Amino acid sequence: MSKPTIVQCPQCKVDVIWSAEESPFRPFCSKQCQMIDFGEWADEENAIAGAPDMSDSDGWSEDQY
C-alpha cells in the first residue's frame, strides 16, 4: 500500500518517480535534463548550444522574402 513519491523534473516538469530503480537521475527525469541543469550554472557566461532559449531568435523568424 505504499504510494510512490512523485516529484517534478526541474527541467521539463514531467512527473518523476522517486525511486532509485525507476529514476536514477532524480529529481531529473533523465540524464539529459540533469546535464542541461548542470550546464546552466556551470556554463553561465557562455552561450548554450542547443538550449531552448528565446533570446537568440530575432532575425530568423520571417526570412522568406
Interface contacts to Zn ion, rule CB under 5 A:
9, 11-12, 29, 33
Decide whether 12 or 47 has the Cβ nearer to Zn ion.
12
Decide whether 23 or 29 has the Cβ nearer to Zn ion.
29
Measuring CA to CA, how many Å separate 50 from each of 2, 6, 38, 39?
40, 28, 14, 11
CB-based contact 36:49 (threshold 8 Å)? no
Minimal distance, residue 33 CB to Zn ion, in Å: 3
Minimal distance, residue 47 CB to Zn ion, in Å: 22
Decide whether 16 or 60 has the Cβ nearer to Zn ion.
16
Q: Tell me 56's DSSP state.
A: G
CA 15 to chain centre: 13
